[in-house]
Amino acid sequence: MIRMSARKLEEILAGKITVQEYFAGYDTTRAKMENPFKRALEQGLTLDAVSLAKNPGVDDDLIEIHFGPADPAISRFKAD
């Protein structure tokens, strides 16, 4: 599961900011934050549920994105 700003997601979908600009905001003295959606796809995971988590007292809510188990349709083939 990942959580992200509802406002930032809306800005991405509206074309106000790019995905690259969003993840650049996480650039710190450590390594840059890896795109969690790319990582999930590489692991064969697909979206399972999306919900809005209210954040009382804060001027932004959170989008919670849940990934399901590995989907054989997009996962790497594994021999038993």
In angstroms, the CA 63 to CA 21 distance is 18
Residues linked to residue 72 through DSSP beta bridges, in sequence order: none
pTM of the prediction? 0.73
> Burial, 13: exposed, middle or buried (Cβ in 10 Å; 0-12, 13-18, 19+)?
exposed
The per-residue pLDDT for range 23-47, each reduced to its tens digit, is 777 655 555 667 888 889 888 999 9
pLDDT above 60 (res 55) = yes
Every domain of the chain and the residues it spans: 2-70
Supply 4's token pair. 């992200």
User: Cβ–Cβ contacts within 10 Å for residue 26, how many?
Assistant: 11
Contact 6, 60 (CB under 8 A): yes
